[in-house]
Structure 1
Amino acid sequence: MTLSNNDNGSNDRDPPHVECRDDVINGNPSNGPGVADGYARGNGVPNNAVFSAATPGESEVKWGNTSYTFYTAHYMDYRHDDSLVSRTRMEIAQEVVTGIILANPGIDFGLVEFNGNWSGTNHHGGRVIHRIIADMTEEQRSNVIDMVNSLTSAGSTPLCESSYEAYRYLSGQTLVYGHRMDGNRNPKGDYLPRDTLAESPLGTYTSPATDCAVTYVILMTDGEPQNDTHANNAIESLTGKTCGIYPAANQPNTKNCLPELAGYMATEDLDNDTTNGRQLAITYTVGFATDQDLLRDTAAAGKGEYYTANSADELTAAFQGAILSILGQESTLTSPAVAVDTFTRTQSRNEVFYAMFEPGESVDWPGNIKKLRLDIVDGEAVLVDKKDNAALDPETGFITVGASTFWSDADGPDVMKGGVGGLLAARDPATRLIYSNTGADGALETFNSTNMNREAFGLDTDEELFALFGPDIESQTDLDRELASGRGFAIDDDGTVSADARNWILGDILHSQPLVLSYGARTGFTAEDPDLRIIVGTNAGFLHMFGDVDGQEDWAFFPKELAPVLNQRRLDAISLEHVYGIDTSPVAYVQDLNNDGTIVTGDGDKVWLYFGLRRGGDAMYALDISDPDNPAFMWKIDPARSGFAELGLTWSAPVVTRIPGYRDAGGKPKPVLVFGAGYDLTKDLTGVATPDGVGRGLFIVDAETGELVWSVTPAANSLKNLQETGLQHAVPGNVTVLDSNGDTLADRMYFGDAGGNVWRVDLPGNALPDASQDDWQINKLAQLNGGTEATDRRFFNAPDVVRIRFNGKPVDAVLIGSGDRTNPNATDVDNRFYMLRDERTAPYDSSAPDASDCADMDPVTDFRCFMPVLDEDLYDITANLLSTGTDEEKAVAVEALQAANGWRIDLQHEGEKSLAKSLTLNGKVYIASFTPNTGLNPEDVCEPLAGLGRLYVVDLFSGNRNVIQLGPIIPDTPSVHFGEDDQIRLLLPPGTPAGDPDGDGDNDCIGGVCSTDEFFRPPYGTYWFQEEY
């Protein structure tokens, strides 16, 4: 209440009791119950439990000549309740648009504001107050937000006129309304000025549209058009159409050309220049507290969508819906997966599994796995569907449109039809078994809100937990919604969880090649029809196991560390940055103690599963899946674990092996994992490779516990680490492991790094090294990055190591190709494929000689004296003179090859690169390459020509080669299939047309299957003869 003193000290002129809104608005102090109206007593002392006096004269408070305002606690609570604050539509719109800009960092925003356009003035249309800037910085994005929050709502609503000015900006024409036509060519009052940087010195707009670009216009209004006819004649002249009649604010129905303009912008080249393709603009409309045929017709003609909204939440949904609509094609990056017959141990089974994905401009890409069968009849192999029809088109290599893959009906090549994904989408999400590592020490628990709590994440408050899942997760209800969506439930428009499943649940399978495991003749299965399980990771963050019998999901595992992925995939924002989850291929250790082909846990059999995350993160996980229906958590490795500070993004798939000196309590060699230390995102930057901060080296860990056994990194020597300061670049590729002497222990390892080096690691002896690290060693075998932009070669693949004979003695051929896997469309590097001849086929057991030691050798007997091998130390066989040259040229070439330390082939097409490990069969090296296509389609310059995959078949000794055109794909290493007819065949990814791998004129590669004309050699007996004396 407000109190002031009159001349006689009385307070009776003032409101005695302000306790609610009506006291202030209506001046009614007598509407509140409970406490009688009155005046404050002094000193806070009640009279008969009442703090107020009945009359002014009874009040003991003397206020003097100053006025005061007092409010009860009840009123103050009301006054400061944000939920009750009335906001204008402009304030709501400003908040919503600000949120949309912040939520879509991959989109470049510009801003057009209406001019005043008062009746009787020439202030028509609108103006560009912030131009579209390509690849906006945070500061530029913040400037747009500041402008949005500075907008006012005064003036008319010139929807069509403002859109006409936007059209002129996008098409690079002169300003019509952009300067407001007010004499001074500047806005009046509080209006924001036009962005003069959107204009050229000649007074025309500088169009933001690039070649073949599509720009999107989102037009939002809270009312009908008003004073909006000035552009009609110009638009009718431009489009050649007569405009329609629509309601207008405070005016009779009026002609409005907005739909005709939107239709023109969506279909006609904005700059009318055929040499740079067609620039188009798509128009979306949002009616806030208004529903208009004009906006509906405009969106339809403009090839966009129309949204209505009546609240802040609805407006947010409308804007985000437009963004999502603005932002498909099917593809695969992995070769098909096959299973080994665990009963014969020498044959592949005929089930073939293809992983697929469909990219889009938003982040929630769908994925799938489809099953075919390889039929072999009279030496001819063909992939068939469940109806025994050929499943792949022999010319294109893609699944035929009418094919019915196993588990499906007439699904064809569509990613979002059939396969395991179709079965999962048709299933009740409540029936799924989903686990996460939320229990003690990572124990698996059901994926739900009870277990996804702050304690599981080691957090102190629920608010921290909510923030971990996403910036818009603010309550337990929000978190429940995220987990329900992750399980597969649809989310209704109002944010509530539906009882129905989402349209598609299975995430994209980008780099994770499915792993097919045979559990053999378990109960209900036979040797002929064993229990096969398919395991794969997706970028939705889940690892799935599917049963081969019916294609149904057995269970899924969601690492809790990927919590933010759930929110990102559900929001499905348009972004140039994809969201990654589990994006590497799983690997298994299988122990079948009695070698009967069947995994029985009661017999002591084991199956342990391992996987990393690739771009999804810097952790590696292990699960015990010995019982395929009851997985158990084993361990997790990340940089926080002792010994793993060097671990980068876990790109390198582990290799299961055994090493010298590492045994269990019974003296039996223990299984270990070997993997590269990972990838560093600094390598995403363009330019010549610079040293990385993580991922530099190799780790060997206990396969059962995840404990570090040994590593080689730049860190200081210790009991478990060998220091190699020359390791300056990340190791994203797999490691090649060799057993030199046949004792089942790996004693040599090879790997490449992202700086163009190839390394050799030697593990001699029968014991682990001590802290001196004097026993095991690492040497740089080759250094093949020339340090310039053109020679900035990088290795992302494991070397292929093959034993050959050279000058009558055994040597190892180390084969590896260069290419930046993270930037397949780059064209600035001259990539090559290499064969490095390593003449030491046993592990080194002595220190490397220094330069003086090498100088004293005659002849040189230690091959380390030739290390590192440089590009110029290798014979260039690109010209193929060993096979196609004259006799004199052949003789010279043979001599040069013998003097060199190997050979190299230029990948000759612009931007061509090797992005997969090579494969060698009987002296033939199969090399997959990808060449981006930087040209334009002569029939439509805006239709990009796809790149081209190739498969080279190169003679390991002569360099003679043939090539198969693989089609518009980035090819993986072909899968090897050992057939029941003893033939060795290669299975290629979908999209591979017919080809001739050996140059004999016959297409030996048809429908995704390549005949190599190689046969699996039958086993020979080993006999022991002993004479007694």
Structure 2
Amino acid sequence: MNKNKQISSHWMRFKVSTLAASITSLILAGLPVQIQASDIDIYQAGGTGTTKIYLMLDVSGSMGNMSLATDYAYQYAYDRWRDYYYDSANICVQEDLPNDLMTSGHIYAKKWSDVYCKVDLSNNKVKNDTAYKNKIKDTCTATSDSNKFNCYTRITNLRKGLIDVIADPTIGKDIQFGLGTYSGNAITNKTNFIAMDPETSNKGTLIGYVQGITAGGGTPIAKAYNTAGKKFTSQSSSSNTSEACTGNGLYFLTDGEPQGDTNYSIDYDGITKVTTNTLGSSQTAYWGKIGNYAQSLLKSNYKIKTATVGFGGGYYLTATQKTQANITIGDKKYFDCTLVDTADSDHRNYCQWGAKTIPNRTNVGGFGEGGFYTAQSSADLVESLKSFITETTVPIEGSTIGSSTIPVDALNTNQLQPFAYFPMFKPLIETQDQLWAGNLKKYNVIGGTLYDVNKNLVYKNATDFNSDLKDYWFNSSAVHPDQVISYGGNLSQLLGAKMPKIDGSNNLVFQRNVFINNDSSVGDLKSAETILKDGTLTNREYLYGLLGYSKLTSADLTALASKTTYADQLTYLKTKDASKGYQLGSIIHSSPILLTQKGAIVADTGSLGSVDREDYVLFGTTQGVLHVVKSGTQNSQVIDGSAVATGSGTEEFTFVPKEMLTKQKNGFFESMAMDKSKDKNSGGGFFYGVDGPWTAHTVYEPNFYDATVDGKTVERDGLQVKADGKNSHQYVYGGLRMGGRSYYALNLSDMTKPKLMFHIDPDSTTSGALSHMGQSWSKPTLAYIKWNGQRKLAMIVGGGYDEKYEDPTFTNSTTGGVKGNGVYIFDAENGNLLWWGSKSASNANGTQDGGSSTAINGMVSSIPSRIKAVDRDSDGLVDHLYVGDLGGKVFRIDLNPNHKADDETKKFVTNAFTFASVQESGKNPPRFYEAPTFTIHTNSAGKKYAVISLASGDRSSPLKSDSTAQDMILGFYDSGVTAITSTVTTTVDLSNMNEIYKANPTTDKTGGWYYRLPITTSNSKSYQVRGLSEGVALDSDLYYSIFDPSKTNNGSNSTSTSCSGGIVGVSTAVKLCLPFGKCGTDTAITTVGDLGGGIIGLNVGPGSTGGSRKLIFNKIPETCKGVACTPNIIEYTTTNKLLPTRWYDMTPYVGAK
């Protein structure tokens, strides 16, 4: 400082197998993309990127000896002749240091060179001055005498604080410091950025520069700031991390009022000048320049944050002032600059320059956004610098890009909704976190990719997405520290509108509807509040974590459990405002499905649309919760940011399976699920919760009503699900995947009163059919069957998954070796077992008796797949089932369409056999995790046959490098299924199949075709490219997503260029042609495009017209122009017409009644 005056404290005064689909009143809703993301092996550890901090330090004269009087004097005065400040009360008298001062093994102040003063608080002049005594205690160093303190100059405290930070072992090689000083007109760069690697001499070098800092001169902030900023903009990154992953921060420190340098011209060094906000006034032009430069640095590709630090006595705050000015929201801290006295604009401008914008405030920050800090001691400086390092560091934590879900319109199955439901979650690998937090958002689908409501692209590229996107469920009132995961979506609705509150009668009111199956009985589910009032369910107090108190601690839960009444618990919670919050688990495999309770189809500009809809979205999360959320009442897309429907994204209710209170209750809280390394039986391991894919079965009844359109009354012929469920219903079914072995069915005809229809619980039995079930991976297939002469709605599932398959070399060839080696058919109304087939089953006849079974030779491996159901005559009854297993086999099961209760000779199952087996000698058998695709074709002789296509791949170990793998895309010909009476065919193997896309291929084999997925080599390892998703057949084209584990996000075997957690492996869409696999004269398989990093399933979305559809990609759509241009991504057009065939693929969302 060169202002020769007292520096006063101015602070605080103050997405089908076939294109054709029937329009019917019964819909099985949902899109068969079941692999949002897969096993967590594909996610690399996150951590952080390189952090670069440039320290620009004020070393003006006021940092030196004179700071003793200005900071610590009881009564200080100015000696004009000697230009000297002193304490006229002789309380702080300057002395030379009698000894060197050391910290962290380094000298920071030298005897006879640096000065200090000793303050005795027992002195009569000050012993009764509480304010002065508190200030000395806050800012000076205590001695052995409780009344005596040693007070040091600002430059001494600066050296000590910096040395302590640099020497700190937690400051490692990922942190780089640069150092500059300014005083008078001298701007000195002590060193460019050097990494704080403890295995180098860099720390010592930087400490040496700090030790040499002395004070003297003025405070030219604009010039100093510009010099510091150019240290970032003029240098390339010195790490292998991309600039997007590098945290850049400029730490600017001064001890008083900056010196105005109005005439200084800022050099922007190639970055774009930003002038959105204005700092200062017309009378302080240099502040305007500084404000513009701060915004420009922040908005540049370097994303440089600026922190400003007020150092020394002029920025001292009392305890009361600190409480008022320092604001904490979530885990973020802010400083309220409006509480700075406006009488000194320099002080307020300096604060605003660095301050972070306070949520829902427009009068603080907007410039540097690194924070404003006050520091009077070396300890304060250490705290401010470490806080800024944390603020600047970029977490590589992965807001994952997976497959969004684009539901089939339940009211018109010929169309897909123009909306996508987009899951996000944050992989936390090298931590003890058992739960990954997530969210679900709703976006527009336009031209093959996603946009937000303001028509901003969701995807930045194939590996990352844009920030500050406003989805349909955005709630601006939400406050959450993670602005990527929580910005918008269902979570923002919980945080913004569902927090617990105190009503006018001082009652604590919960605003979230949480239901649980408290006992084994079916019927109405019990609300969490009812269970808490009842006071008998074990661990019931953990439900508070789902009712808006997600920040409670284990101590809080102990206290709650000790309360004798529900009222006492509520009284306790009233004191826990800081513990309020919500978190959602991740949506990994539980693909969202659309539930439509009502609506009407209308003709609009030549196509069919819908109006007056009541839509909900259902999805499960790893937190152990099933969510039902209002989708919103949009009748069309909103692409201008307006007319986002009120209530969109609002949660209708959540269902918590009671078993989650035993298995993973700690996941209801934000800081308690931290025992991943523990044994599962002891509450450890990763929490999967309700991670299974669910499906819906909807039956509508007519709904005739009048509506007003353009001022006229029109009659609507609508469809609806009535709450009484007599002539219509909304049923949902699903499992837990790795979260358990259960299946649940809920009646959601009345969304306000969800009912449990049944719970299939294999854990409750050690013998019989259910005991052979594995983890409930198989997505339920809902279809009608002929049972005892009656039409019956059935739930058909695979036996499930056995964790023995976590070993990539594991195979099973014996009965009883694994769980899940079966196919099960349950009564979809009550959960009673109707039939099951397995090598483990004892009955070879499969008669009509309740609980009948069929022994199927060869069915010895687990079946986690969805079951493909086929209706051969379009009578609405399933005739055939197809499924693959984890042992390289495919099975066909033929059901008896004439099954009667009084005819013992007519079995329920007419044929159940191994249709194909494709294991090769010396290799691990291929694994089929997904359902086959079924299509019907006609040969040259006019005879029909089916093609059953699948892709193999080990999902359990997606990154395993294994030269013994044999993954393929296969198409099996089945002429037995098209016979008048279906016949058992000879088991197909690779010897009677044509291998396509190879040199000199054979074409005379009659069993089908196969394409060997390549084995790639990277870093001396061999990686099997594999198929981990269901295929999609559109017209005569067959698409698969194939996963290459040798690549990373950017499509190479190098370091990912995305700052998103290092997802290993890339998914690519490929196209084959039906029925022969090979497309025309092509010599290689067609690559359609990259789907993105990780295991990404194919997603079919709407095309450019209402009835068209195309594949959706996680990237900006490419434009194809000109007559000779052939777009790589084909658009398919659907039309409503009568089909001259009786074959019908029972897709998960189409049925008949």
**TM beyond 0.5:** yes
Alignment of 1:921-960 (within 5 A): 921-933=1034-1046, 937=1054, 946-956=1064-1074, 957=1076, 959-960=1078-1079
Which residue matches 1:434? 514
1:448 matches 2:507:
no
1:415 matches 2:485:
yes
Task: Specify whether residues 612 and 771 from structure 1 end up closer, same or farther in structure 2 by C-alpha distance, changes over 3 A only.
Answer: farther
Where does the alignment leave 5 or more consecutive residues of structure 1 unmatched? 1-105, 107-133, 135-227, 237-244, 279-291, 307-324, 458-464, 467-478, 847-861, 882-888, 1006-1010, 1024-1029
SS in 2 for 1:338: coil
1:333 matches 2:402:
yes
| Distance of 2:107 and 2:1012 partners within structure 1 | 58
Q: Which has the higher contact order (CA 8 A, sep 6+)?
A: 2
Say whether the 8 Å CA contact 2:899–2:908 is kept in structure 1.
no
Alignment of 1:122-521 (within 5 A): 232=105, 260=167, 262=169, 263-264=171-172, 267=175, 297=382, 328-342=397-411, 344-361=412-429, 362-374=433-445, 383-387=450-454, 389-393=455-459, 395-396=461-462, 399-408=465-474, 414-426=484-496, 427-429=498-500, 430-439=510-519, 441-448=521-528, 451=531, 465-466=538-539, 480=541, 482-492=542-552, 495-496=555-556, 497=573, 498-499=576-577, 502-521=580-599
In the TM superposition, what is the alpha-carbon distance from 1:249 to its structure 2 partner? 11
Alignment of 1:811-850 (within 5 A): 811-828=945-962, 829-842=965-978
1:538 matches 2:646:
no
1:902 matches 2:1008:
yes
Deviation per residue, 1:479-502 (Å, 9 max, x gap): 52x221122214356844424675
| Distance of 2:886 and 2:199 partners within structure 1 | 43
In the TM superposition, what is the alpha-carbon distance from 1:613 to its structure 2 partner? 0.4
In the TM superposition, what is the alpha-carbon distance from 1:687 to its structure 2 partner? 2.1
| Distance of 1:939 and 1:517 partners within structure 2 | 38
In the TM superposition, what is the alpha-carbon distance from 1:703 to its structure 2 partner? 0.5
Task: Specify whether residues 816 and 428 from structure 1 end up closer, same or farther in structure 2 by C-alpha distance, changes over 3 A only.
Answer: same
Which residue matches 1:764? 896
Task: Specify whether residues 805 and 898 from structure 1 end up closer, same or farther in structure 2 by C-alpha distance, changes over 3 A only.
Answer: farther
Aligned with residue 806 of structure 1, among 923, 928, 939:
939
Aligned with residue 876 of structure 1, among 976, 983, 995:
995
In the TM superposition, what is the alpha-carbon distance from 1:836 to its structure 2 partner? 1.0
Where does the alignment leave 5 or more consecutive residues of structure 2 unmatched? 1-39, 46-100, 110-139, 176-194, 202-238, 242-376, 501-509, 557-572, 601-608, 633-647, 678-684, 704-717, 844-848, 1017-1022, 1080-1084, 1143-1153
SS in 1 for 2:858: coil
Aligned with residue 552 of structure 1, among 650, 664, 667:
650
In the TM superposition, what is the alpha-carbon distance from 1:272 to its structure 2 partner? 7.5
Which residue matches 2:367? none
Which residue matches 1:963? 1087
2:935 alignment partner AA: V
Say whether the 8 Å CA contact 1:674–1:698 is kept in structure 2.
yes
Which residue matches 1:738? 870
In the TM superposition, what is the alpha-carbon distance from 1:764 to its structure 2 partner? 3.0
Larger mean CA deviation between 947-956 and 355-364 belongs to 355-364
Which residue matches 1:697? 822
Q: How many residues align?
A: 695
Say whether the 8 Å CA contact 2:437–2:584 is kept in structure 1.
yes
Task: Specify whether residues 248 and 837 from structure 1 end up closer, same or farther in structure 2 by C-alpha distance, changes over 3 A only.
Answer: farther
In the TM superposition, what is the alpha-carbon distance from 1:806 to its structure 2 partner? 3.3
| Distance of 1:234 and 1:840 partners within structure 2 | 89
In the TM superposition, what is the alpha-carbon distance from 1:928 to its structure 2 partner? 0.7
Which residue matches 2:1024? 911
Say whether the 8 Å CA contact 1:516–1:532 is kept in structure 2.
yes
Task: Specify whether residues 443 and 1002 from structure 1 end up closer, same or farther in structure 2 by C-alpha distance, changes over 3 A only.
Answer: same
Say whether the 8 Å CA contact 2:468–2:487 is kept in structure 1.
no
1:929 alignment partner AA: I
In the TM superposition, what is the alpha-carbon distance from 1:971 to its structure 2 partner? 4.7
Which residue matches 1:573? 674
Task: Specify whether residues 742 and 488 from structure 1 end up closer, same or farther in structure 2 by C-alpha distance, changes over 3 A only.
Answer: same
In the TM superposition, what is the alpha-carbon distance from 1:559 to its structure 2 partner? 0.6
In the TM superposition, what is the alpha-carbon distance from 1:586 to its structure 2 partner? 1.7
In the TM superposition, what is the alpha-carbon distance from 1:900 to its structure 2 partner? 4.0
Say whether the 8 Å CA contact 1:673–1:702 is kept in structure 2.
yes
Which residue matches 2:883? 751
| Distance of 1:926 and 1:985 partners within structure 2 | 14
Say whether the 8 Å CA contact 1:831–1:913 is kept in structure 2.
yes
Say whether the 8 Å CA contact 1:435–1:445 is kept in structure 2.
yes
Say whether the 8 Å CA contact 2:934–2:948 is kept in structure 1.
yes
In the TM superposition, what is the alpha-carbon distance from 1:916 to its structure 2 partner? 0.7
Task: Specify whether residues 272 and 937 from structure 1 end up closer, same or farther in structure 2 by C-alpha distance, changes over 3 A only.
Answer: farther
Deviation per residue, 1:345-393 (Å, 9 max, x gap): 4323333322222222423322222222345xxxx67644333x24334
Say whether the 8 Å CA contact 1:336–1:989 is kept in structure 2.
no
SS in 2 for 1:423: helix
1:573 alignment partner AA: M
1:840 alignment partner AA: G
| Distance of 1:722 and 1:825 partners within structure 2 | 37
Deviation per residue, 1:716-774 (Å, 9 max, x gap): 43451112242221100101011123332112111111122111111135116959969
TM-score (norm 2): 0.54
| Distance of 1:257 and 1:425 partners within structure 2 | 40
1:575 alignment partner AA: K
1:864 alignment partner AA: T
In the TM superposition, what is the alpha-carbon distance from 1:431 to its structure 2 partner? 0.9
TM-score (norm 1): 0.60
Identity %: 20
Alignment of 1:18-37 (within 5 A): none
In the TM superposition, what is the alpha-carbon distance from 1:509 to its structure 2 partner? 0.8
Deviation per residue, 1:100-131 (Å, 9 max, x gap): xxxxxx9xxxxxxxxxxxxxxxxxxxxxxxxx
Say whether the 8 Å CA contact 1:713–1:725 is kept in structure 2.
yes
In the TM superposition, what is the alpha-carbon distance from 1:975 to its structure 2 partner? 3.5
| Distance of 1:1014 and 1:527 partners within structure 2 | 19
Say whether the 8 Å CA contact 2:463–2:1092 is kept in structure 1.
no
Which residue matches 1:988? 1112
In the TM superposition, what is the alpha-carbon distance from 1:296 to its structure 2 partner? 10
Task: Specify whether residues 1022 and 786 from structure 1 end up closer, same or farther in structure 2 by C-alpha distance, changes over 3 A only.
Answer: closer
Say whether the 8 Å CA contact 1:662–1:670 is kept in structure 2.
no
Say whether the 8 Å CA contact 2:841–2:853 is kept in structure 1.
yes
Say whether the 8 Å CA contact 1:619–1:649 is kept in structure 2.
yes
1:431 alignment partner AA: Q
Task: Specify whether residues 875 and 618 from structure 1 end up closer, same or farther in structure 2 by C-alpha distance, changes over 3 A only.
Answer: same
Say whether the 8 Å CA contact 1:408–1:419 is kept in structure 2.
yes
2:457 alignment partner AA: A
Which residue matches 2:699? 591
| Distance of 2:899 and 2:1093 partners within structure 1 | 46
Which residue matches 1:656? 782
Q: Whose Rg is larger?
A: 1
CA RMSD of aligned residues (A): 4.8
Say whether the 8 Å CA contact 1:610–1:622 is kept in structure 2.
yes
Say whether the 8 Å CA contact 1:433–1:446 is kept in structure 2.
no
1:516 alignment partner AA: L
In the TM superposition, what is the alpha-carbon distance from 1:826 to its structure 2 partner? 2.0
SS in 1 for 2:664: helix
Task: Specify whether residues 381 and 304 from structure 1 end up closer, same or farther in structure 2 by C-alpha distance, changes over 3 A only.
Answer: closer
| Distance of 1:565 and 1:249 partners within structure 2 | 51
Larger mean CA deviation between 404-413 and 358-367 belongs to 404-413
